Amino acid sequence: MAAVSILQTAQKVFSLKGIFPAITTPFNDKQEVFYEKLHENLQIYEKLPLTGYLINGSNGEVAALTIEERIQILRNVRQTVNPKRLLLVNAYSESTKQCCNLTRSLASNGADAVLVMIPFYHRRSLDEEAIIAHFRSVADSSPVPVVIYNNAGVTNLDISTRTILTLAEHPNIYGIKDDHVGKIAEVVGEVKKRNLSFEVSQSSGCQLLQSLLVGACGGIISLPNILGRDVCKLYQLYKENKMEEAAALQCRLAGIDTLLMLANLGVPGMKAALDLMGMYGGPCRLPLMPLPPHHVARLKDQLVQNGFLSA
């Protein structure tokens, strides 16, 4: 009964509504986590009307972090930010057992919810039954809400709408982070039809407004790392039904996000953009290499052209 009580309490306070930056993990020249710079970046983000943060996501180079580092980063963020901020923490692991164990550790160290991605090393053997079993097992054992991360670009597996809706029936699977606007619309429609308590959040900054229009509740995206004020403004314009202004701002933001994501500049691009914007990006952890100078120039040009950076 105690476990149910904890679960119910967690579900009452957690929501994906609003903007969650998928924050980067700063490293120093020795490839160590640079906690001082993490705090400096967070102090800038704390001035924005954010709902919370995604920690140790793809943008945070989770695959390059040890379990100990992932927990220590969470502790540092929890100690730095306003207690009202919700912390969604990536619990990605390649085994279900390890994911369950990590989820409990993250919950005991300040996570308000966990983000869970499909283990993809053995993806050829993962059918719908295996995917459902993974998420249900984690959700059954987790003391905090579970959010599905459908990241086909990394896993090379796209979770079907049918599977998402099956998982949405679990009382501790609270929502999904996805980037496909059509699927978001389909899932939102079915969730409403079935009267399920399940939220859908967009994972791409260049499609935020489109997704809000079809029923997404917000965005768990990387773009607020560098343009947090503008992304929050876009969300507010949508809420105020100022669609012409929102569309114009979305077009400006899309130029930056498209370059970072679709041109495969990825994490090195985001860290270079942070440096350009006067924050701390710094190096990635190997094997990710620094962004080549010609791409840095392209990125700077896009930021200038769209009015986010002075020439």
Choose, from 17, 30, 84, 177, the residue flagged as catalytic: 177
Helix, strand or coil, per DSSP, at residue 56: coil
309: left (phi over 0), alpha (psi -120 to 50) or beta: beta
Task: Report the interhelical angle of 181-194 vs 161-168 (nearest 10°).
Answer: 40
177 carries an active-site annotation: yes
Q: Which amino acid is at 25?
A: T
CA distance readout (Å), 259 to 230, 266, 267, 299: 17, 9, 12, 7
Our measurement of the distance from residue 69's CA atom to the centroid of its chain's CA atoms, rounded to an integer in Å, reads 18
Q: Which residues pair with 160 in a beta bridge?
A: none
**Angle (CA) 149 150 155, round 5°:** 105
**Residues labelled as active-site residues:** 177
